[in-house]
A and B are shown apart, each in its own frame.
Chain A
């Protein structure tokens, strides 16, 4: 398989990720924007949960007190206080851990963005790693926040102001850590040996060749015959573009692409052939030729490739 130098080299967000079976799954790392969005979603969920929880406890307390248990009234304030404190503590520290230990290895925010946590070495995602990556959130999120809040309180004192500014710059470095490495690792990922990758759910779409066959069956138009020169005018890159165009079914694009291909291969149009029918037939011919050549070890990357 390697003899053909087959698979395109990973670049951009794609990373090599070899399973124990020796297959490279080519994972896509989550971008900084996706990571930030997921975190903001989670933060919003935490805050809303907490507020709702505290209000519920408060109302329950008030209801109980009005039922004629006056001693509860004194306990009410402290009950709300306890719920707030412990709720905040547990949500702050265990919300992420609990969800990331689950089957999907992702918090609700990450799920929405199609992300998940994985061990960088391809092994199991251990609970130690999940705990470590989330304990580090302390210096990535809460420490900069503390400095930010404190800097507001520094007032006119210039020394305090400078100290806060330095503190903010220092801790900001932790918060922005993901922007300074190509795998978008945050400090927690760095320490825990994890990373956050896309785990998209692709649907198995219909094979375009099946679609072509159905269409031909209905209209009885099988009259497309391409010479080997015509079928070999393009490479794999163009084939994939053509596939995307056919799947998207945008009439304008179809017409434009069909026109260019007709010109390139000097095609003499059949009587009342449609753009879609022509492109589908050409796709089948091109793919057939390229795949046959592939079996013999020739992977023609694009139309400039002479292989």
Chain B
């Protein structure tokens, strides 16, 4: 064979082995997981990746072989995504999520959470006052979920809805599943709607609060306010908390999109999205809990005080989990010192 006169060709002949090796390793990593590789092979990937990047730079500067440059670009890109990709195991990630990310994200949204809480409580008050004053407001506020629990219902019927789960209703598991998926979807929706400059999220929260207030007004007028509280808050603490948090997450995004401050709008949105996303991921889990409480616990526990006990302890657990200062982040230590 003649000696390779062209420098670009000699260059390729010398480096090709490394490229092929990287390609084989990447194919294995992408096919399954990194677990299939030995330590030695795993450590080789970043080295080969940097060698390939350097080959790419050299090839761009000296070679006019089009397909070679395309190949190197694609290989470097694949390797780049592996080298700089996420590789932590699912266990580690979950641990970090529950230990730090989620509570920290919730604390970070405290201002928005207060706004969301204020909207919900305000709307509930408005709903309560309106329906107490004039029961004809009820129809517009109940959101079609009343199932006969309207101002014209008898006290006996209302009492029955609070304690009997009704023989022919859906079995508890199905009810729990339905309630969970319905509420979780609303929570995710409230978050996503935040993008439209907060207003739809505020509307959704206000509607939710008004329905709550209107129901209270109906039951209180029949002297069943305390009992309704137990029926509602056994799961409602968790559920309302979750919905308020998802509203807060939506507000953060909408606000930053509308008023990005000194950042570009696109950067501000991305930053807000990352700050708010863990909250929503966690909210879905809260709603699983709420769905279980609503579907099972509420139907199985008929005693008002027991219902209130669960409601209050869930409030303590959630607020404690989210807002109690903890040791891990160093910033918090600095503040208390």
CB neighbors of A among B26-75 (8 A)? 29-30, 33-34, 50, 53, 56-57, 60-68, 70-71, 73-75
Residue interface mask B112-154, A partner, CB < 8 A = 1: 0000000000000000000000000000000000000000000
Interface hit among B174-182, B232-240, B298-306, B317-325: B174-182
* Across-interface contacts of B57 in A (CB, < 8 A): 1, 23
Chain B: interface residue total (CB-CB under 8 A): 79
CB neighbors of B among A1-32 (8 A)? 1, 4, 6-7, 19-21, 23, 25-27
| A128, CB-defined interface residue at 8 Å | yes
Beta-carbon contact of B64 and A191 below 8 Å: no
Known contacts being A23-B53, A81-B174, is A139 close to B196, with CB within 8 Å?
A: yes
Interface hit among A49-57, A207-215, A274-282: A207-215
Known contacts being A89-B181, A132-B276, A291-B6, is A243 close to B173, with CB within 8 Å?
A: no
Q: How far is the CA of A240 from the CA of B29 in the complex (A)?
A: 33
Determine how close the nearest CB of chain B comes to the CB of A176; give it in whole angstroms: 14
Interface hit among A62-70, A115-123, A257-265: A115-123
| A124, CB-defined interface residue at 8 Å | yes
* Across-interface contacts of B85 in A (CB, < 8 A): 103, 105, 124-125
| A86, CB-defined interface residue at 8 Å | yes
Known contacts being A139-B193, A190-B269, is A243 close to B67, with CB within 8 Å?
A: yes
Q: Which of B2, B270, B276 contacts A120 (CB 8 A)?
A: B270
Q: Which of A19, A131, A142 contacts B280 (CB 8 A)?
A: A131
Determine how close the nearest CB of chain B comes to the CB of A172; give it in whole angstroms: 13
For the residues of A in contact with B, the DSSP-based class is helix
Known contacts being A23-B53, A126-B274, A129-B277, is A294 close to B77, with CB within 8 Å?
A: no
Q: How far is the CA of A25 from the CA of B276 in the complex (A)?
A: 30
Q: How far is the CA of A6 from the CA of B60 in the complex (A)?
A: 8
CB neighbors of B among A65-83 (8 A)? 74-75, 78, 81-82
For the residues of B in contact with A, the DSSP-based class is helix
* Across-interface contacts of A207 in B (CB, < 8 A): 9, 12, 65, 68
| A225, CB-defined interface residue at 8 Å | no
| A199, CB-defined interface residue at 8 Å | yes
Query: In the complex, which range does the number of interface residues on chain A fall in?
Result: 35 or more
Q: How far is the CA of A287 from the CA of B34 in the complex (A)?
A: 41
CB neighbors of B among A151-168 (8 A)? none
| A43, CB-defined interface residue at 8 Å | no
Known contacts being A116-B81, A204-B16, A291-B6, is A78 close to B170, with CB within 8 Å?
A: yes
Known contacts being A89-B185, A101-B86, A288-B6, is A201 close to B78, with CB within 8 Å?
A: yes
Q: Which of A7, A101, A105, A192 contacts B274 (CB 8 A)?
A: A192
CB neighbors of A among B170-212 (8 A)? 170-171, 173-174, 177-178, 180-181, 184-185, 188-189, 191-193, 195-196
| B278, CB-defined interface residue at 8 Å | yes
Q: How far is the CA of A103 from the CA of B71 in the complex (A)?
A: 21
Residue interface mask A80-115, B partner, CB < 8 A = 1: 011001101100010000000101110000000000
Q: Which residue of B lies closest to A286 (CB)?
A: B64
* Across-interface contacts of B82 in A (CB, < 8 A): 103
| B335, CB-defined interface residue at 8 Å | no
Beta-carbon contact of B78 and A138 below 8 Å: no
Beta-carbon contact of A202 and B66 below 8 Å: no
Q: How far is the CA of A207 from the CA of B61 in the complex (A)?
A: 17
| A135, CB-defined interface residue at 8 Å | yes
| B19, CB-defined interface residue at 8 Å | yes
Q: Which of A120, A199, A204, A295 contacts B19 (CB 8 A)?
A: A204
| B266, CB-defined interface residue at 8 Å | yes
Q: Which of A93, A202, A208 contacts B65 (CB 8 A)?
A: A208
In this complex, the member of B56, B85, B276 whose beta carbon has the largest number of chain A beta carbons within 10 angstroms is B85
Beta-carbon contact of B6 and A294 below 8 Å: no
Determine how close the nearest CB of chain A comes to the CB of B274; give it in whole angstroms: 5
Determine how close the nearest CB of chain B comes to the CB of A97; give it in whole angstroms: 9
Beta-carbon contact of B181 and A86 below 8 Å: yes
Q: Which residue of A lies closest to B190 (CB)?
A: A138
| B290, CB-defined interface residue at 8 Å | no
Q: How far is the CA of A131 from the CA of B102 in the complex (A)?
A: 13
Q: How far is the CA of A284 from the CA of B33 in the complex (A)?
A: 43
A-B residue pairs, 9 tightest by C-beta: A193-B270, A191-B273, A132-B277, A138-B192, A89-B181, A78-B174, A202-B74, A132-B273, A128-B277
19 examples of A-B residue contacts, CB within 8 angstroms: A81-B177, A103-B82, A104-B30, A122-B84, A124-B85, A126-B86, A128-B281, A131-B278, A132-B276, A132-B280, A135-B188, A135-B192, A138-B185, A139-B193, A143-B192, A192-B277, A208-B65, A239-B64, A244-B66
Measured CB to CB, the residues of A under 8 A from B are 1, 4, 6-7, 19-21, 23, 25-27, 74-75, 78, 81-82, 85-86, 88-89, 93, 101, 103-105, 116, 118, 120, 122-129, 131-133, 135-139, 142-143, 170, 174, 187, 190-193, 199-205, 207-210, 213, 236, 239-240, 243-244, 247, 284, 287-288, 290-291, 294-295
